[in-house]
């Protein structure tokens, strides 16, 4: 008799545990879909986008709909998977779309030399705003559009920079 | 009132299954059809069939981007981000690869890129025309064929070792 009682209690506890786990799993799935398809926060740091972004780290909101719909254009700040190391993500500005002719300073620290290139089909030309300390398309060439992960549209931290990013 | 409740419950269930399905197919594994004959005889050995092969694509390899020679991968095309292709990895970053079978053209694959080729070299748009492809464009690795039933099995890892020299 006591055994039957224990079984009943255990079954109700197990059912409740399963329900709670299902809720947590559903929440994690919702989080994954939102982070990958809608909007996600990212911490970015580094000197290559001064003065737009700080050296010691900004938290930015990136939206992932625009790259999928092909709506990324010149002047947008984007998160791009690095063509040199696929585990790293870069934050740069799109300077030229496919078919554009881009003119850039090859090595502004040492020379005034300018070079010009045409962006091939399906690629974009990305450059950091701080051209003295940025490794971008001037060094590794145009990157395929498919590497663009998201478009930055809002800054959340630090608080004095809270708001939309200026074009 | 009753039907609205039923409809709401149904919509809720579909939405939840959709979220879970999307998360699982993005993070763990998904089943995709293979179209075209560029990977004959591994996939679609009879080009004129109305049924395509279905393969299992695993996404665990995207954590570290660690691939081996001979892996078959799904990747976004560098010239059109909306299209995905299935090809085999022939060369990894740092390898010296002979680009065509009988010539002396040798190319060093840059960091973060790979050399992809279809098994059916007669009709395959791959690195021989697109050049080395950034690893960041890879979306998953094909491990098994799941349809048609007579060819269910693991996908072998094989590549022309005489054309590749690894460090």
Query: For residue range A21-37, what is the model confidence (pLDDT) as tens digits?
Result: 999 999 999 999 999 99
Residue B117, domain CATH = 2.10.109.10
Label residue B53 by pLDDT band (50, 70, 90).
confident
Which pLDDT band, with edges at 50, 70 and 90, does A2 fall under? confident
Q: What is the pLDDT of residue A161?
A: 81
Task: Establish if B68 belongs to a structural domain.
Answer: yes
Q: If you measure CA to CA, which chain A residue comes closest to B112? A: A84
Query: B25 in a domain, yes or no?
Result: no
Looking at residue B1, what is its pLDDT? 67
> B104 and B88 in contact (C-beta within 8 Å)?
no
Question: What residues in chain A have their Cβ under 8 A from chain B's Cβ atoms?
Answer: 25-26, 28-30, 32-33, 36, 67, 70, 81-87, 120-123, 143-148
Q: Are the Cβ atoms of A122 and B19 closer than 8 angstroms?
A: no
Residues of A in contact with B82 (CB under 8 A): 70
Predicted local confidence at residue B50, as pLDDT: 75
pLDDT at residue B49, as a whole number: 67
Judge whether B123 lies within some domain.
yes
Residue of B nearest to A143 (CA): B78
Strand partners, A157: A59
User: Is residue B132 a part of any domain in this protein?
Assistant: yes
* Catalytic hit among B30, B87, B124, B127: B87
Residue A54, pLDDT > 90, answer: no
Cβ A26–B16 below 8 Å, yes or no?
A: yes
pLDDT of residue B48: 64
Query: What average pLDDT does the segment B16-39 reach?
Result: 92
- DSSP letters, A5-20, are HHHHHHHHHHHHHHHH
The answer as to whether B60 is a domain residue is yes
Mean pLDDT of B58-78: 93
A144, B20: Cβ pair inside 8 Å? no
Can you tell me the mean pLDDT for B25-49? 86
Would you call B38 a catalytic residue per the annotation? yes
The predicted pLDDT at position A167 comes to 61
Chain A residues touching residue B78 (CB < 8 angstroms): 122-123, 144, 146
ipTM of predicted complex = 0.86
Share of chain A above pLDDT 90, in %: 74
pLDDT tens, residue by residue, A57-67: 899 999 999 99
Determine, yes or no, domain membership for B5: no
Measured CA to CA, the distance from residue A151 to residue A79 in angstroms comes to: 6
Nearest Cβ partner of A121 from B20, B27, B79?
B79
Range of lowest pLDDT (B43-47, B68-72, B134-138): B43-47
State the total domains in chain B.
1
- From CA B159, how far away is CA B121, in angstroms rounded? 13
Chain A CA closest to residue B80: A122
Q: What is the mean pLDDT of chain A?
A: 91
- φ, ψ for residue A39, nearest 5 deg: -150, 140
Looking up tokens 């094989």 gives: B158
Q: Is B76 on the interface with A (CB under 8 A)?
A: yes
Beta strands in B10-159 (DSSP E): 29-34, 53-58, 72-77, 80-91, 96-98, 106-108, 113-117, 133-134, 138-147, 153-154
Q: Which of A70, A120, A147 sits opposite B134 (nearest CB)?
A: A147
Contacts of A64 in chain B (CB under 8 A): none
Instruction: Please name the residues in contact with B124: beta carbons below 8 A apart, sequence gap of 6 or more.
Output: B38, B39, B87, B117, B118
Domain span at residue B97 reads 30-165
pLDDT band at B46, cuts 50/70/90? Answer: confident
Residue B108 lies in a domain: yes
Flag whether pLDDT at B103 surpasses 80: no
List, in order, residues 6 or more apart from B157 with CB less than 8 Å away: B68, B69, B70, B71
Mean pLDDT throughout B46-57? Answer: 81
| B8-21 tens-digit pLDDT | 999 999 999 999 99
In this structure, of A124-133, A146-155, B114-123, B158-167, the range with the lowest mean pLDDT score is B158-167
Residue A100 has pLDDT above 80, yes or no: yes
Q: Which of A25, A32, A147 sits opposite B26 (nearest CB)?
A: A32
C-alpha R_g of chain A:
23
State how far the Cα of A63 lies from the Cα of A58, in Å rounded to an integer: 16
- CA distance, residue B127 to nearest chain A CA (Å): 14
- Smallest CA-to-CA distance from B87 within B36, B47, B48 is with B36
| Residue A12, helix vs strand vs coil | helix
Please report whether residue B21 resides in a domain: no
**Residue A16 confidence class, pLDDT cut points 50, 70, 90:** very high
């Amino acid at each position: 008799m006591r055994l039957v009682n224990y079984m009943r209690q255990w079954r109700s506890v197990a059912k409740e545990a399963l329900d709670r786990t299902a809720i947590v799993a559903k929440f994690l799935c919702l989080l994954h879909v939102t982070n990958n398809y809608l909007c996600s926060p990212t911490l970015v740091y580094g000197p290559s986008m001064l003065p737009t972004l700080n050296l010691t780290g900004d938290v930015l909101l990136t939206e992932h709909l625009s790259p999928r719909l092909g709506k990324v254009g010149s002047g947008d700040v984007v998160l791009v998977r690095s063509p040199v190391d696929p585990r790293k993500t870069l934050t740069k500005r799109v300077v030229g779309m496919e078919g554009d002719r881009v003119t850039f300073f090859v090595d502004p620290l040492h020379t005034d030399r300018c070079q010009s290139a045409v962006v091939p089909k399906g690629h974009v030309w990305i450059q950091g705003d701080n051209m003295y300390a940025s490794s971008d398309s001037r060094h590794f060439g145009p990157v395929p559009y498919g590497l663009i992960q998201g478009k930055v549209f809002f800054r959340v931290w630090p608080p004095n920079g809270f708001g939309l990013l200026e074009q | 009132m009753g039907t609205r409740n039923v409809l709401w419950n149904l919509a809720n269930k579909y939405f939840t299954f959709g979220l879970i399905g999307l998360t699982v197919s993005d993070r763990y594994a998904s089943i995709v059809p293979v179209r075209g004959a560029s990977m004959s005889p591994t996939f679609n050995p009879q080009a004129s069939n109305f049924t395509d092969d279905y393969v299992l694509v695993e996404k665990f390899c995207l954590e570290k981007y660690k691939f081996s020679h001979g892996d078959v991968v799904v990747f976004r095309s560098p010239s059109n981000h909306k299209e995905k292709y299935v090809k085999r990895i022939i060369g990894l970053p740092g390898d010296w690869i002979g680009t065509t079978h009988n010539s002396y053209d040798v190319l060093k694959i840059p960091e973060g890129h790979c050399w992809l080729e279809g098994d059916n070299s007669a009709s395959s748009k791959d690195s021989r025309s697109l050049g080395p492809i950034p690893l960041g464009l890879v979306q998953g690795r094909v491990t098994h064929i799941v349809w048609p039933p007579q060819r269910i099995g693991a996908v072998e890892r094989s590549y022309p070792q005489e054309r590749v020299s690894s460090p």
